[in-house]
């Protein structure tokens, strides 16, 4: 087994992604039916020729991802489902079944769990995904771990590693809204219009997985690489560029930021670009396609779902780096300022 000797080092010393790399390096070769294995947001295995099963999991920890004493359990349940559903969307697939493991402090209220379960099942049921099992254990801190299965036809699978130089980069919906909502939960004294407050809080608390949009993208054809924006645009573009071996140039002026997000940012004295680039939890789809296919993709998604798709930049050679072109003509590096757990 590989592995440097690192006496005394802790996970806090190296951070989330180096930790994942380190653990992944300890694995041997994968089974032949593994199409996408560790290191991605979603695994894909070939269950029969041309038919792939998708599998993803996501853990929500009380105190870190949510505040049980302050959140609405029904909305939390919907969000936990949506986070996983978004990973299936980013693979071009549809969800089928899921498991839910709960670690619960003994003082957890039954009514909280009722709400959590109802929200989880409601969101998953919208997309015809069924809860088929799970687990409850006792612990000091509530933990909710959902493992979601999905499917996709082999040729339809979206991957992170398919982007090529010259392709355009596009994103569904708005970016930064969830970060604005998170800011509002922490700074409740901010004076913003109630409609803006509701819009960004909804984006943060009950994100909508882009499954319908992904289906249209698959049917329209032409997507070359995709990922969901869960860690912030910089980090997720970084994952896509790392996997594809390319660089990217994003036009700051084209980033789709909702008016409500700008309003909250103004009240908070924050540059909304920071929320777009580093905020995370938007659960929008980020994808690439050649310029001759992009217009058709944008149009098809809008006409079928009402969701706007915005072209925000283009894929460039790896040696050009990853840059944000600002309105004044200057450029800055797209540093991976996304969320790390440690």
Instruction: Identify residues 29-88 at the interface with its own copies (CB under 8 A).
Output: 30-31, 33-34, 36-38, 40, 42-43, 45, 47-48, 53, 55-61, 63-65
Q: Smallest distance from the beta carbon of 24 to its own copies, in angstroms?
A: 9
Candidates 93-101, 173-181, 245-253, 287-295: pick the segment binding its own copies (CB under 8 A): 93-101
Closer residue to its own copies, CB minimum distance, 88 or 180: 88
Distances (CA, A) of 95 to 4, 102, 214, 284, 329: 39, 21, 12, 17, 43
Q: Find the shortest distance in angstroms from Cβ 12 to its own copies.
A: 4
Beta carbons of 1 and 26 less than 8 angstroms apart: yes
Interacting residues with its own copies between 163 and 182 (CB under 8 A): none
We find the least distance from the C-beta atom of residue 7 to its own copies, in angstroms, to be 7
Binding mask 182-201 for its own copies (x = CB under 8 A): --------------------
Is residue 111 close enough to count as binding its own copies by CB under 8 A?
A: yes
Structural element, H or E, at residue 203: helix 194-205
Q: How far is the CB of 67 from its own copies (least distance, A)?
A: 14
**CA-CA distances (angstroms) from residue 12 to 16, 59, 160?**
8, 18, 27
**Per-residue x/- mask for its own copies, residues 283 to 322, rule CB under 8 A?**
----------------------------------------
What is the Cα–Cα distance from 160 to 242, expressed in whole angstroms? Answer: 9
Beta-strand pair 331-333/284-289: unpaired
Least distance in angstroms from the C-beta of 296 to its own copies: 33
Dig out the tokens for 227 from the structure.
């990922």
Interacting stretch for its own copies, rule CB under 8 A, among 94-102, 173-181, 285-293, 308-316?
A: 94-102
Exposed (0-12), middle (13-18) or buried (19+): which is 337, by Cβ within 10 Å? middle
Decide: is 324 part of the binding site for its own copies (CB under 8 A): no
230 is a contact residue toward its own copies (CB under 8 A): no
28 binds its own copies (CB under 8 A): yes
- Phi and psi at 312, nearest 5°, equal -115, -5
User: Across the strands, what pairs with 98?
Assistant: 131, 148
Q: Is 153 in the site for its own copies (CB under 8 A)?
A: no
Binding track, positions 8-27, relative to its own copies; x by CB under 8 A: xxxxxxx-x--xx-xx--xx
Interface with its own copies (CB under 8 A), residue from 52, 71, 91, 121:
121
Name, in order, each residue with C-beta under 8 angstroms of 287's C-beta and a sequence gap of 6 or more.
158, 169, 170, 171, 217, 223, 224, 225, 226, 227, 297
Three-state DSSP class for residue 304: helix
Quick one: tokens of 177?
């809204």
Q: Please identify which residue in the block is written with the tokens 């660089």.
A: 247
CB of 124 to its own copies, least distance (A): 10
By beta-carbon proximity to its own copies, the closer residue of 101 and 337 is 101
């Amino acid at each position: 087994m590989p592995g440097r000797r690192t006496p005394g080092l802790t996970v806090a010393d190296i951070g989330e992604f180096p930790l994942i790399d380190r653990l992944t390096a300890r694995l041997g070769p994968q089974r032949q039916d593994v199409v996408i294995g560790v290191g991605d947001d979603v695994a894909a295995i070939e269950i029969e020729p041309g038919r792939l099963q998708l599998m993803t999991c996501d853990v929500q920890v009380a105190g870190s991802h949510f505040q049980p004493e302050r959140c609405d359990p029904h909305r939390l349940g919907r969000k936990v489902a949506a986070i996983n559903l978004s990973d299936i969307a980013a693979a071009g697939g549809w969800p089928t079944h899921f498991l839910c493991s709960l670690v619960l402090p003994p003082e957890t209220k039954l009514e909280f769990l009722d709400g959590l379960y109802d929200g989880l099942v409601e969101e998953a049921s919208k997309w015809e995904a069924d809860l088929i099992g799970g687990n409850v254990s006792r612990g000091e801190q509530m933990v909710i771990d959902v493992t979601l299965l999905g499917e996709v036809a082999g040729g339809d699978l979206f991957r992170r590693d398919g982007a090529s130089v010259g392709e355009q980069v596009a994103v569904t919906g708005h970016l930064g809204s969830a970060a604005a909502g998170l800011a509002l939960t922490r700074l409740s004294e901010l004076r913003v219009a109630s409609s803006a407050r509701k819009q960004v809080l909804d984006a943060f608390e009950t994100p909508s997985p882009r499954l319908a949009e992904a289906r249209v993208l698959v049917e329209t054809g032409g997507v070359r690489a995709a990922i969901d924006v869960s860690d912030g645009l910089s980090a997720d573009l970084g994952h896509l560029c790392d996997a594809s071996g390319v660089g990217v140039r994003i036009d700051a002026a084209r980033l789709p930021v909702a008016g409500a997000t700008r309003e909250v940012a103004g009240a908070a004295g924050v540059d909304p670009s920071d929320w777009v680039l580093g905020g995370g939890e938007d659960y929008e789809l980020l994808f690439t396609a050649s310029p001759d296919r992009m217009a058709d993709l944008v149009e098809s998604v809008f006409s079928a779902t009402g969701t706007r798709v915005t072209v925000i930049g283009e894929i460039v050679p790896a040696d050009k780096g990853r840059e944000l072109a600002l309105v004044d003509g200057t450029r800055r590096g797209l540093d991976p300022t996304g969320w790390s757990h440690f």
